[in-house]
Amino acid sequence: MKQDKSNIKISTGFLEKIRRFLELELVKIKRNKKELKQADPFSDSDRTSENSLEEDVDEQIGHFDTEIKVKFLAKRTVQLRKALTRVKLGKYGICETCGKMIDTDRLTVNPEATTCVKCEKESEV
């Protein structure tokens, strides 16, 4: 059951801090993704196809590790952008499931949270 959202207010100062934090996190992620891609063994221009078996395995593992980290950062980017959009729309801090206010302690720890603790727990069951 959705709650009337017109009476839910988050302080402008808190929202501004969250917005700045989210934007800084996006910048960090962009930088991390670039560094990861540069460190990917498959991106090395001097890479040879005549490696020993051990070298091939090391390259494969390094590439796989990079791919997993880049996918994680891509998912986190989506979450952060979604949170920024919710800030702009005035819906930040409101649970997408029940419409109630998300506890500010939860938002401080997890700024991209879109559900309250209660709804999060219910979705895990």
**Which tens digits make up the pLDDT trace of 3-57?**
444 456 778 888 898 899 999 999 999 999 999 998 888 887 777 677 788 888 8
The two tokens of residue 19 are 């917005």
Please write the tens of the pLDDT for every residue from 82-92: 999 999 998 99
Among left, alpha and beta (phi > 0; psi -120 to 50; other), residue 90 is left
Domain boundaries, the chain: 10-91, 93-125
Separation of alpha carbons 105 and 103, rounded Å: 5
Kindly report the number of other CB atoms within 10 A of residue 38's CB atom.
10
Measured in residues, the chain has a length of 125
Q: How far apart are CA 30 and CA 77, in angstroms?
A: 9
Q: What global pTM score does this model have?
A: 0.76
Q: Which stretches of 40-111 are DSSP H helices?
A: 53-89, 104-109
CA distance to 44, 47, 63, per residue, from 55 (Å):
14, 11, 12
> Where would I find the beta strands (DSSP E) of 55-95?
none
Tens digit of pLDDT for each residue in 99-113?
999 998 998 889 999
